[in-house]
Structure 1
Amino acid sequence: MNTEQSSFEKFGHWLKQSVGLKLSTITILMLLLLIPASMIKSIIHERESQNRSVLREVSSKWANEQQLNGPILTIPLVYEYLNNENETIQKTKHLHILPDQLNVYGNIEPKTLKRGIYEVVVYSSKLKVSGLFDLNAKIDQSGLKEIQFDKAFMSIGISDLRGIEDQIQFQWGKNKISVQPGSRLPNMIPSGVSLDVPNLAENFTKMVNFSFDLNLQGSQNLSFIPVGGSTQVELQSPWSSPSFNGNFIPKTREVSDKGFTAKWKALLLNRNYPQSWVDRNMADRMQDSSFGVDLIMPLDDYQKATRSAKYAAMTISLIFLVFFLVEILNGKKIHPFQYTLVGLALCLFYVLLISISEHTNFNIAYLISAGVSSLLISLYSTSVFNSLKFTAILSSTILGIYTFLFVTLQLADYALLMGSIGLTVILAITMFFTRNINWYKLHVSAE
């Protein structure tokens, strides 16, 4: 009986002193704590999804993303053919002509609208559009009966007509024409305005200037289709966080805290459609050539919170490593339940971060969240360690981790570099402090 009891006592003593078992227990705890960490990521994604929903709702009431396409001149052509029964039939085709030159100068005035705790970027733009049509287009004369100049019309694509703030007066040569709502080329321009073109027969084979002003509201994005044989677009805005996108990047750009200026230039040879064609649908090719600018929120808070949550495993591992080393070096036994409480305090940081950042600046939210989490763990470790020295080491480690994470979040372009350097430094420090430990003869003291 005494032998059996002695065996149980030895086994219990081994359980309390086994370093390998302690490491296994800590590893399992760390993996279990990744479950609430992943739940935190789900919360962040849910809040981000709700933010996008609000963005779509507000944008739909203001005006959605805007794209300018055109102007495109369309002239009906009547052809006569003989069919197999030797009967004469007529068919109307449409000749589409693009401007030889297209110039756009615009000023974008951004605004932020709030719906509850969410912010949405919208804008009001003032665009001056001008250019030149070379009407010396080649027309297939085979079977051509009539060119219906009196039915010619101009189309201008505007993706969301609700954003038009003022009546558009189109200057065609010496004529000023009011445009009408609706696109007459639904397959090529789904949404836009159009106008009848006067005196086209007199001007055909000549050069004709055009211009118009467009005051346009929109949300987040403004883009253009380079329909000109030479297209030049210049935009300026006080928005300091633009994202240039599309098939062309600006030839020149200046971005500062005071805003941005950008200039694009696209030539006929840079795109995959001609200056004129008959009855072909070039909508897809034209869309593929679009370019423009996004007015984005600088490193949006949900993106930062998601990126910070990706470091949860590293943060928990490092803090647990400090606790474990205190056990080894100080001979102070720490219960797995105490590890769990510390791990939950670390997870609390991410919950506080996302909830507070929705109501204030992200940096302030980070400072508050990191401060609360650090204070909880430091005060708790004072009782666990019974040593101001080791508490100070732990507090310094937590401060270093949160500082490193904050710097990494700010340097989006160098996040991977910062992360790899940081992990290398952490590994080097761990190897240095554990270099003299004899792990084969090591036991965790039992109190």
Structure 2
Amino acid sequence: MIRRKILRFISQSKSLTTTPMNCILKRSLVTSVKNIIYERRYHFPRIRYLLMTRAIHTSTRLQAVESVKAPTFPDSVTTGDVKLIKKQGDAVAMDEVVLEIETDKTALPVMSPGNGRIVKMLVKDGEAVKSQQVLFEVNITGAAPAAALAAAPAAVPKAVAAPAPAPAPAVTAAKAAPTAKSTPVAVKTAAKKPTGPTLAAQKIGDPTKTISGTRTEHPVPMNKMRKRISERLKEAQNTTAMLTTFNECDMTKLMAFRKANLDVFTKKYGVKLSFMSPFLKAAANALMDQPVINAVIIGDDIIYRDYVDISVAVATPRGLVVPVVRNVESMDYPRIELALNMLAEKARSGKLTLADMQGGTFTISNGGVFGSLLSMPIINLPQSAILGMHAIFQRPVAIQGKVEIRPMMYLALSYDHRLIDGREAVFFLKKIKSGVEDPTSILAGV
């Protein structure tokens, strides 16, 4: 009986590949067989020999070298540029990012499959790689890279100390000494009482002949994402008959609504109530009211949708990305805020996937967070329209025949005039305006 269990253990162990999870499984098998043998007092020399040799073999298999490949790219992406974060010989922890692959849509992180050390880096920084191409090899030791973590702080002071702050005081002292000695000279010069223009001319010189200051230039290669953004924006201008119409909305009631519910909303859902969720919900209602703006021209057909997937433009260090909030027409404020918060966090950490940014039917861009007063946004192909939000400014407006100071925001809708007429565009903006100016109308479903 015990012999059959030992043989079954050996056959199971041989069939396992050397991945980190299988190494753990092998050790589990060893432990289970040990318990069977020693708990039942089977101290046969042959069994103990098989067990120990198998245990030793399993331990050596833990020192496995794994090849890590590039992720599978979607059909629209053929290659990506490598941006190295780690180098050959570095110790890495499980799921630590070793490099990133910059495509024309996003940056895909490639992580270590386990704790170990990079034994071979098969690609160079900036190199173009294809889907499923082998990128590097990691020796999976199973031990956390404590040595690398301990060495990291020691390296930081060296990098910080590289500029050598010691020369700075020397320069300061050199400047201070002549200043003290030249004080009498300065008094004599002041006694000459030179005219203002002459003194200014001596200090500035001839501005038409003298160019002062640092005037250096250095080229920086354009990354794939920026290239793709440039291509798509120019394609939108060349393809669509783009037209922009404007409106403005009074933010008084929405700001009061947000202030009254902010604390309770934050405590209940863990995220703040922003202005984006009312605008997304108002836009979803307006898109259902004017379905042609949610449609798109494909070939000779107009494709109408009964769902609303809104792309929200987010600025990142690499460029503008547009993650999608799906089925907004069926969402309430809390669900929209939670979805926005999750997508924003993924965008900031560089973990947005291509699936997060595909399939939007309409786009909202909020330039107001940067202080923009007014703009004409460019359509995000293959969509047919984009809404531009702007900054809130206190402006005098006429309210029932009286001039009052109100917080006002300009709205801009750029749309494809081949598909959308001005009538639908104006009705769409008026629907958003009414939903934002009276948030209770959205809650009431009107």
| Short-chain TM bin | under 0.3
So what's the TM-score if we normalise by structure 2? 0.19
Higher strand share: 1
Q: Which has the higher contact order (CA 8 A, sep 6+)?
A: 1
So what's the TM-score if we normalise by structure 1? 0.19
